[in-house]
Amino acid sequence: MDVVTVGETMVLFTPISKGQLRNAHTFSKTYAGAESNVAIGLSRLDHQVGWISRVGHDEFGKSVLSFIRGEGVDTSQVQLDSEAATGVFFKEVRNPKDVRVTYYRNGSAASRMSANDLDEEYLKKAKYLHLSGITPALSASCYEMVKEAIRIAKKHSVTIIFDPNVRRSLWSEEQARRTLLEIAENVDIILPGIDEGAFLLGEKEPEKIAKRFLELGPSLVVLKVGAKGAYYFTETESKLVPGYLVEHVVDPVGAGDGFLAGFTSGLLDGLQIEEAVQRGNAVGAMVTMVEGDVEGLPDKQEIEAFIKPNIE
Q: Is 108 in the site for Mg ion (CB under 5 A)?
A: no
Are 235 and 228 in contact, with CB atoms under 8 Å apart?
no
Q: Is 37 in the site for Mg ion (CB under 5 A)?
A: no
What is the rounded CA–CA span in Å between residue 256 and residue 177? 19
Count of CB atoms within 10 A of residue 182's CB?
15
Contact residues: ligand CKP, CB under 6 A: 10, 32-34, 37, 134, 165, 167, 253-257, 293
Nearer to ligand CKP, 20 or 102 (CB): 102
State the amino acid at position 5 in one-letter form: T
Q: Which of 74, 81, 117, 257 is catalytic?
A: 257
Nearer to Mg ion, 93 or 118 (CB): 93
Nearer to Mg ion, 128 or 162 (CB): 162
In the complex, minimum distance from the CB of residue 120 to ligand CKP, in angstroms, rounded to a whole number: 26
Nearer to ligand CKP, 156 or 226 (CB): 226
x/- string (CB under 5 A) for Mg ion, residues 220-259? ------------------------------------x---
Is-catalytic flag, 257?
Answer: yes
Q: Is 7 in the site for Mg ion (CB under 5 A)?
A: no
Q: Is 132 in the site for Mg ion (CB under 5 A)?
A: no
- Judged by CB under 5 A, the residue of 5, 9, 108, 165 near Mg ion is 165
Give which of Mg ion, ligand CKP, none residue 167 binds (C-beta under 5 to 8 Å, depending on kind): ligand CKP
Stretch that binds Mg ion, among 2-10, 108-116, 161-169, 228-236 (CB under 5 A): 161-169
Active site residues: 257
Summarize as ranges the residues that interact with Mg ion (CB under 5 A). 165, 256
